[in-house]
Structure formats: C-alpha cells, structure tokens
Structure 1
Amino acid sequence: MAAICVFCASSNRIGAQHLDLATALGKALGPRGHSLVSGGGCVGMMGAVADGARAGGAHTLGIIPQSLVDLEVADTASDDLVVTSDMGARKNIMIERSDAFITLPGGLGTLDELFEVWTTATLDLHRKPIVILDPEGFYTGLWEWLNDITQTHFVRTSALAQVAVVTSIDAALDHIEEALR
C-alpha cells in the first residue's frame, strides 16, 4: 500500500472532464490498496480526488495551511487533516508523508508542487516515483519545451527520465506499484 500524493487544480472554474478525472483517480486508489495525500482542500479537482478516494475506500490525509482553513476551503471530511503554518510547511509535509506523486492538470500551485518533488528527486533527496497523468495532452507543450532545453544543458535528460508521463489511471498506478516493488 502506498500513500499517493496527488497534485491538481483547486479551482472551481475548470471543465467537468478534469473533475471527472480527479474523481476517477481517487476512486481507483482504495481498491488497489493505496491512500491519498492531498493539499487538504475541498474545492476543484482537489476536492474531487478526495471525495473519490473516500468513495473508493481509501484513507485520506489532507495537509492545508491555516490561511486556507480561514477561507473555509478545508476538506473537513478527511480522515486526517493536518493544518500547517504556511504553504512551505504544507509542501514539506506532503512530500514527507507520501510514497509517490501523481500530477493532474493544474495551475501555478500544481506546477510548483511538481517541480519541487522533481527537483528534490534529481538531487537524490528522495527516490519516490513521480507521474504526470495527462490523458488529454494538458502538459504536452511543457514536456516538449523541457525536452528541447535538454539540448542547452539546462535540464539533464536523466532528469526527464525521473518522471513518467502516462495517459491512463491504470498506467499511473501500475508505474507507481512497479517502482515501489
């Protein structure tokens, strides 16, 4: 059983297909014996993945800064809810409490979280699997750009190899399970 951290959008102004993807990913965790680590919000894809995880029988751990609790966006239905002093502490605890990471579509916060776990993996501070779940090509442009800048040596090709880009929930979970064996 792995504690899988999911990075994703917390906006309520996104398309239904993104909410459906988050819900489906959450629902897939429990039957495969995994738990969810999330940013502790109850809105957008973050809320959908947590609701899906509980519907699928997975344990949910939400980690949220006090400032977002004050805005009344905390996932109070979480099995465990950790309230932190700030966003930096939130990110650190999410990384510490997770065995693997899946990134869904999202904005700046999602990218910040992805690049944090990816950077720390390239520095060999952890060896936890990192997956981008991208069934609709949301990250295609970013991935192409990152591949292009390997030619300038700003990014090593070995760093790109530390992230799996997949198009299905099963492929994401299969990759994590294989990497953790």
Structure 2
Amino acid sequence: MTAEERVYLSVGSNIHPRVTNIKTALQQLADLADVTVVATSNWYETEPWGNRDQANFYNVSVALTTSLTPDELLDRLHEIEQGLHRQRQIHWGPRTIDLDIIFWGARQLNTSTLIVPHAQAAKRNFVLLPTAEIAADDPIVGPQVAALIKANQDNSWIKKVGNVSE
C-alpha cells in the first residue's frame, strides 16, 4: 500500500443501543494493531435502505490506513461485528453493527468475499455523503465519490446529527 492510499469504511447500526454499538466498534477499530484511523465523518441518521420496514440507522464513515491485506482487514471487521453480536438473518435487515469496506485507494477488488469499490456504494446516500466529508482531500477517492454523488439517484433521506444519543 502506498502512503497516500486510504481505506474508507461505512459503519452503521439500527439496533439499540445504536450509539454505543458504533462508538464501541470505532474504538475497537482504533485499537487494532496495523490500523491508523485518519478521519471520522459526522454522524448521520438515515432511512433504512433496501428493506425499509425497520428502525432508522446511525451511520458514519471512517478513513484509515493499514498494513493489513484486504482479506485480513475484512477478517478484523467481521471479528468486531461478531463481538457486537451481528447476526446475518435478513438481507438488508436490522443490525447491531455493520462495517463495510467501501473504497481502498485506487484498488479494484472482486473476490468471493470482497468487492471494492463496494458494489452498492454508488446507490447509497448513507455511504456517499459521509464519505465525501472525509475524502475531499484524497486525490484518488475524493473525485470518485464526487462523481458518484453527481450520478446518484438515491432518494432516501439522510440528516446530519449533532450530539448523538439514543
């Protein structure tokens, strides 16, 4: 990985306690060896995407650098999700925590376990808008995000929240 290459994650929760779930995941992410959190976006409350018959989400985006491989980082993210009791029972369903790799610098990956850029990112306000906040100065990802926002047709609502609480 080159020094300027940043990894962007989307982090979300819609199962109580949403704020605690996200804060715990962010702390565990920051505590990982071989990971440096560079920036975290503002918090957003967002309408559920896909399966809309569920509680609203809180979402943030995180920029980081890492010496881990994509598969190693994905494994660490899954460990954090499992520690926070993430259950994958309903596609696009409620979740205690969701940690998705969205962009990895200029890399394009398509394996059985990981697609980067994230296959659905271009269709999701809750991914694009928080990521735009923290990728504006990234010469690789910033223009990608700006172009996706310009072409985006997601009509779901998203609102920035100040002090987050349940």
Normalized against structure 1, the TM-score is what?
0.30
Q: Looking at secondary structure, tell me which structure has more helix per residue.
A: 1
Give 1 or 2 for the bigger CA radius of gyration: 1
- Return the structure number with greater relative CO, CA threshold 8 A, min gap 6: 2
